[in-house]
């Protein structure tokens, strides 16, 4: 399902209500008990958790993250485009590719942000107003160490009872394909877009409130 657009007549009321974003509440979860061994050089994480606009916006705020690209994970390169993926028939998930400096932020710390505030890991094949398998909660590990850490953390969080429903996040394999240019850096370029104001500004505010030690200034 494509992201809904509100009628322009509703925009002033929406901005008045949400323009100064009220923070969503970060779920208080523990740090992961295990982490990926320290590595040299930039590393990559690929995470899917609903609309890539909001996921991109949150992780752009994290110290140590050098670049975030919105795209499609899984499926094939031939159908990795917004129109095809929106049909919910391509097996892709809207996802982000994070390039990060492990000397500043670790893979497990990125997962903590992912599970706590970047998305709701208990929503099956949807996030907020968006429904379909392309909005699923999924982690695409880039190596065996990431896969082991992600699996262990999901099991760890399942035992904390921090969420009202079970975690449905899947660990998957598949390629990553960058989305169209107009999707990149969407939050920063379109701060008054109705979807951004309603769904993503509160999420970014929630990250800053819940993880001030990780947020860029």
Q: For 81-125, what is each residue's pLDDT tens digit?
A: 999 999 999 999 999 999 999 999 999 999 999 999 999 999 999
Could you report the per-residue pLDDT of 122-135, keeping only the tens digit for each?
999 999 999 999 99
Report whether pLDDT(7) > 50: no
In this predicted structure, the answer to whether residue 173 has a pLDDT above a threshold of 90 is yes
pTM of the model: 0.91
Which residue spans within the chain are E strands per DSSP?
43-49, 65-73, 93-100, 126-127, 130-131, 137-139, 170-171, 176-178
Q: Are 118 and 59 in contact (CB under 8 A)?
A: yes
Q: How many Cβ atoms from other residues are within 10 Å of residue 62's Cβ?
A: 21
Catalytic residues: 51
Confidence bin at 15 (pLDDT 50/70/90): very low
Q: Which H or E run includes 85? A: helix 82-85
Q: What is the CATH number of domain 34-210?
A: 3.30.1060.10
């Amino acid at each position: 399902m494509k992201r809904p657009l509100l009628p322009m007549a509703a925009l002033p009321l929406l901005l008045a209500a949400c323009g100064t974003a009220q923070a969503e509440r970060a779920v208080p979860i523990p740090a992961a008990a295990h982490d990926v061994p320290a590595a040299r050089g930039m590393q990559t994480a690929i995470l899917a958790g609903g609309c890539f606009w909001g996921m991109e916006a949150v992780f752009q705020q994290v110290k140590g993250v050098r670049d975030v690209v919105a795209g499609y994970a899984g499926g094939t390169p031939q159908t990795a485009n917004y129109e095809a993926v929106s049909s919910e028939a391509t097996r892709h998930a809207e996802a982000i590719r994070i390039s990060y400096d492990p000397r500043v932020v670790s893979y497990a710390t990125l997962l903590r942000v992912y599970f706590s505030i970047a998305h709701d890991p208990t929503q099956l094949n949807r996030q907020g107003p968006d429904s379909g398998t392309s909005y699923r909660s999924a982690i695409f590990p880039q190596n065996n160490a990431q896969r082991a850490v992600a699996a262990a953390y999901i099991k760890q969080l399942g035992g904390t009872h921090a969420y009202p429903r079970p975690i449905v996040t899947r660990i998957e394999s598949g390629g990553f394909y960058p989305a169209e240019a107009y999707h990149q850096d969407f939050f920063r370029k379109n701060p008054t877009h109705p979807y951004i104001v309603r769904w993503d500004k509160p999420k970014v505010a929630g990250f800053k409130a819940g993880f001030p030690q990780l947020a860029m200034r």
